[in-house]
Amino acid sequence: MSTTRQSSEEMLQALRSQIPSEPDNGQPHTLWTIENSEELYRIHGWGDPYFSINAAGHVMVAPRGDRGGSLDLHDLVTALQQRNLGLPILIRFSDILEDRIERLNACFAKAIARYSYSGVYRGVFPVKCNQQRHLVEDLVRFGQPHQFGLEAGSKPELLIALATLDNPGALLICNGYKDLEYVETAMLSQRLGHTPIIVLEQLDEVPLVIEASRRLKIRPILGVRAKLTSKGIGRWGGSAGDRAKFGLAIPEILSAVEQLKAADMLDCLQLLHFHIGSQISAISVIKDALREACQIYVELSELGAKMGYLDVGGGLGIDYDGSKTNFYASKNYSIQNYANDVVAEVQEACSARNLPVPTLISESGRAIASHQSVLVFDVLGTSDRPGLDPIDPPTADAHALLRELYDTYTNVTVQNYQEVYHDAVQFKDEAISLFNFGYLSLTERAKVERLYWACCRRILELLRHEDYVPDDLEDLEKSLASIYYINLSVFQSMPDAWAIDQLFPIMPIHRLDEEPTNRVTLADLTCDSDGKIEKFIDLRDVKSVLELHPLKDQEPYYLGLFLGGAYQEIMGNLHNLFGDTNTVHIHMTPKGYHIEHVVKGDTMTEVLSYVQYDSEDLIENIRRRSEHALQDGKITIQEAQLLLQHYEHSLNHYTYLSTD
Ligand SMILES: *Cc1c(COP(=O)(O)O)cnc(C)c1O
């Protein structure tokens, strides 16, 4: 036991030094631990059980979840770079995909056991969520033990599903708009051992199906997609409701029933489908929809349809910000809650009418595919943070405005910061007017602007300790943030961040044992002012700046974008001709990991060919011009050679910047 007594002042001092305070002046504080990083980036909230931080301050990936085995993401990226796989790189963890399928099926199995439900669950993966061949092939393989099937929402997706699915017990749900060819292809696939269910989305499809069935002498399994009144809320709320693009309204469902009955095909109608939109954040919305759908289901049964399947569509949400709330970037329920509600609701509706319970189907895409990929990219450089330049007092003969602004700057206090802010803004506006009329020199204007930013920074430092931030000062944090330039195209790799303001967790994958003292926004490689990220996940709402580390000389800085495995890849576009990124598939083995597939990103030749340029022609053009310039003595032979070398090399390489 220690015999020395600390003075209370010393104890206080010691205590204080252990409390990590706000990174407010760009100076690293002494004690920053990986626990501080865990809390700051909320990695447990959105990343459990796959992502965490190790003692080295790197992101760790446990692709098999709780079932053991992990790897250091930073080490993996280094190893990939040694194999000449540059950044940005999309890393797919096939074990995560497998774990997601296992998890979803386990939750339904548990719910079925808990409610003694006498039916089964047969999930399907909606191909539109991620159509990449290796991923769909993995899915089918991992789904085998659970008879997990596929859902096609278009003719091309049907072609993928037909060729990839090879499990007779798995369902093939055929959604989307259909023509005769679609319908006949789906029906004929029954002869190959598939179990296609053709879901009627439009009334026009009813005669099509009747005709195809007669012609092919195949009795199909049919479903109807109901337009529910219960709606999802938020971004995809319009997927259901009276004005929804898809599905049949109640009178149309009845008309379909009559037409099928007249064609002696009512026994073919066996499935009811609904989909109220993606990323449903509130469990109450799912329950409302289920209740309505269950009633339609039992009524269809009573009308004579041989009902046996209920397809609850997609919508199972992802907790992007880890807040467990009904905020749009979160969800207030677990997969288990979801499965329990589906099973219990259907059980109750059927037993009330003494009907056998249906096989349950869900078309969860986002919930299965989001976690499996991580996009790692590097920071190319930063722009200065305004307001950090040292400020010298103005000389006695300096412009009056400059002297007054300096006085303001030296008098910022907790009591007057809002007033000081307004004064500073006014001084700056006045300075610009004076400058425009020729009464202020460029040097003087520069001094005013520097002082203005210094003032704002002082105010911001006070503000960060306040509970309440007045509206007019809310943007201060963002305007004083640095900009980090990232080797990435938002349009190619995270289109939803641009198109619909979707939030994805973004964080450094190393240096997590160091305090991130900079507050930044991100700007991408494109020449588009929308190519930026200025909204980040936060426990409450959204934050406008992300805490990152100052760059070190000669040391790359890597960021990871997580939970982007659903929808982003196919919706990504070629804005500014930035192509697909490199992709690798990582599979865990007893000895560590194995790189299963490498899919090289687009080369410039490939991207240019999408817009009809032929690289041979392009090279020939440059060669001819060089010869002319050579003849005219405007270029040396060495310069011409170097130019052509660069040109040809670029064509055969990655569209992103190379930093090594
Ligand atoms: C998009 C879609 C899905 C997938 O939705 P998630 O929210 O990603 O699970 C399922 N079914 C249909 C009909 C869809 O259009």
Q: Which residue has the tokens 């073919």?
A: 268
Helix%, strand%, coil% for the chain, nearest 5: 45, 15, 40
Q: How far is the CA of 323 from the centre of ligand 1 (A)?
A: 23
The finding on whether 496 has its CB within 6 A of some atom of ligand 1 is: no
> What's residue 131's pLDDT?
97
Q: How far is the CA of 650 from the centre of ligand 1 (A)?
A: 39
The finding on whether 281 has its CB within 6 A of some atom of ligand 1 is: no
Q: What is the pLDDT of residues 245-288, one digit of tens each?
A: 789 999 999 999 999 999 999 999 999 999 999 999 999 999 99
Task: Give the distance, in angstroms, between the CA of residue 174 and the centroid of all CA atoms in the same chain.
Answer: 26
* CA pair distance 104, 98, nearest whole angstrom: 10
Q: What is the pLDDT of residues 175-185, one digit of tens each?
A: 999 999 999 99
Write out the H or E segment, with its range, that includes residue 587.
strand 582-589
Q: How far is the CA of 243 from the centre of ligand 1 (A)?
A: 18
Question: If you take atom 3 of ligand 1, which residue's CA is the nearest one?
Answer: 314
Which whole number is the average pLDDT over 118-139?
97
Question: If you take atom 5 of ligand 1, which residue's CA is the nearest one?
Answer: 314
Residue type at 317 in one-letter notation? G
Q: How far is the CA of 256 from the centre of ligand 1 (A)?
A: 24
- Output DSSP code: residue 644: H
Write out the H or E segment, with its range, that includes residue 6.
none
Tokens of 127: 């191909």
Site to probe by mutation for ligand 1, drawn from 129, 173, 331 as the one with most ligand atoms within 8 Å of Cβ, is 129
Which whole number is the average pLDDT over 368-391?
92
Q: How far is the CA of 190 from the centre of ligand 1 (A)?
A: 24
Question: If you take atom 14 of ligand 1, which residue's CA is the nearest one?
Answer: 314
Q: How far is the CA of 65 from the centre of ligand 1 (A)?
A: 25
Q: How far is the CA of 239 from the centre of ligand 1 (A)?
A: 10
* CA pair distance 78, 94, nearest whole angstrom: 20
Q: How far is the CA of 366 from the centre of ligand 1 (A)?
A: 8
Asked whether the predicted pLDDT for residue 11 surpasses 50, the reply is no
The finding on whether 495 has its CB within 6 A of some atom of ligand 1 is: no
Q: How far is the CA of 571 from the centre of ligand 1 (A)?
A: 15
> What's residue 286's pLDDT?
93
The finding on whether 272 has its CB within 6 A of some atom of ligand 1 is: no
The finding on whether 314 has its CB within 6 A of some atom of ligand 1 is: yes
Q: What is the pLDDT of residues 215-251, one digit of tens each?
A: 999 999 999 999 998 766 666 666 666 667 789 999 9
The finding on whether 366 has its CB within 6 A of some atom of ligand 1 is: yes
Q: How far is the CA of 153 from the centre of ligand 1 (A)?
A: 9
Q: How far is the CA of 31 from the centre of ligand 1 (A)?
A: 46
Asked whether the predicted pLDDT for residue 655 surpasses 80, the reply is yes
Which whole number is the average pLDDT over 356-367?
98
Asked whether the predicted pLDDT for residue 51 surpasses 80, the reply is yes
Provide the β-strand partners of residue 92.
Answer: 373, 585
Tokens of 43: 């990695």
Question: If you take atom 10 of ligand 1, which residue's CA is the nearest one?
Answer: 314
Atom of ligand 1 nearest to the CA of 225: 13
Site to probe by mutation for ligand 1, drawn from 128, 272, 363 as the one with most ligand atoms within 8 Å of Cβ, is 363
* CA pair distance 89, 577, nearest whole angstrom: 17
Tokens of 109: 């199995």
Cβ atoms of 198 and 222 within 8 Å: the answer is yes
> What's residue 473's pLDDT?
87
The finding on whether 152 has its CB within 6 A of some atom of ligand 1 is: no
> What percent of the chain is modeled with pLDDT above 90?
86
Site to probe by mutation for ligand 1, drawn from 148, 278, 331, 370 as the one with most ligand atoms within 8 Å of Cβ, is 278
* CA pair distance 101, 135, nearest whole angstrom: 13
* CA pair distance 653, 608, nearest whole angstrom: 12
Q: How far is the CA of 19 from the centre of ligand 1 (A)?
A: 45
* CA pair distance 428, 224, nearest whole angstrom: 64
* CA pair distance 344, 146, nearest whole angstrom: 21
The finding on whether 223 has its CB within 6 A of some atom of ligand 1 is: no
The finding on whether 225 has its CB within 6 A of some atom of ligand 1 is: no
Q: What is the pLDDT of residues 162-204, one digit of tens each?
A: 999 998 899 999 999 999 999 999 999 999 999 999 999 999 9
Tokens of 644: 């052509």
* CA pair distance 180, 412, nearest whole angstrom: 74
Asked whether the predicted pLDDT for residue 15 surpasses 60, the reply is no
* CA pair distance 623, 427, nearest whole angstrom: 57
* CA pair distance 28, 340, nearest whole angstrom: 48
* CA pair distance 603, 600, nearest whole angstrom: 8
The finding on whether 100 has its CB within 6 A of some atom of ligand 1 is: no
Residue type at 556 in one-letter notation? P
Asked whether the predicted pLDDT for residue 28 surpasses 90, the reply is no
Provide the β-strand partners of residue 197.
Answer: 173, 221
Nearest to 519 by CA among 465, 462, 461, 470: 461
> What's residue 346's pLDDT?
98
Q: How far is the CA of 279 from the centre of ligand 1 (A)?
A: 9
Asked whether the predicted pLDDT for residue 505 surpasses 80, the reply is yes
* CA pair distance 614, 54, nearest whole angstrom: 48
The finding on whether 364 has its CB within 6 A of some atom of ligand 1 is: yes
Q: How far is the CA of 364 from the centre of ligand 1 (A)?
A: 6
Q: What is the mean pLDDT of the chain?
A: 93
Q: What is the pLDDT of residues 125-134, one digit of tens each?
A: 999 999 999 9
> What's residue 540's pLDDT?
84
Site to probe by mutation for ligand 1, drawn from 125, 127, 128 as the one with most ligand atoms within 8 Å of Cβ, is 128
The finding on whether 365 has its CB within 6 A of some atom of ligand 1 is: yes
Tokens of 372: 């499996």
Which whole number is the average pLDDT over 613-633?
97
Asked whether the predicted pLDDT for residue 8 surpasses 50, the reply is no
> What's residue 2's pLDDT?
39
Atom of ligand 1 nearest to the CA of 279: 7
Q: How far is the CA of 302 from the centre of ligand 1 (A)?
A: 28
H helices present in 464-506, as ranges = 476-479, 490-493, 495-499
Asked whether the predicted pLDDT for residue 212 surpasses 90, the reply is yes
Q: What is the pLDDT of residues 420-475, one digit of tens each?
A: 999 999 999 999 999 999 999 999 999 999 999 999 999 999 998 888 888 888 88
β-strand 518-523 against 482-486: which pairing, if any?
Answer: parallel
Q: How far is the CA of 236 from the centre of ligand 1 (A)?
A: 10
* CA pair distance 256, 263, nearest whole angstrom: 11
Site to probe by mutation for ligand 1, drawn from 139, 198, 275 as the one with most ligand atoms within 8 Å of Cβ, is 275
Question: If you take atom 4 of ligand 1, which residue's CA is the nearest one?
Answer: 314
Q: What is the pLDDT of residues 555-610, one digit of tens each?
A: 999 999 999 999 999 999 999 999 999 999 999 999 999 999 999 999 999 999 99
Residues in the chain: 660
Nearest to 134 by CA among 467, 453, 565, 445: 565
The finding on whether 71 has its CB within 6 A of some atom of ligand 1 is: no
> What's residue 601's pLDDT?
96
* CA pair distance 414, 421, nearest whole angstrom: 12
Tokens of 95: 């074990």
Which whole number is the average pLDDT over 493-511?
96
> What's residue 238's pLDDT?
64
The finding on whether 547 has its CB within 6 A of some atom of ligand 1 is: no
* CA pair distance 657, 234, nearest whole angstrom: 37
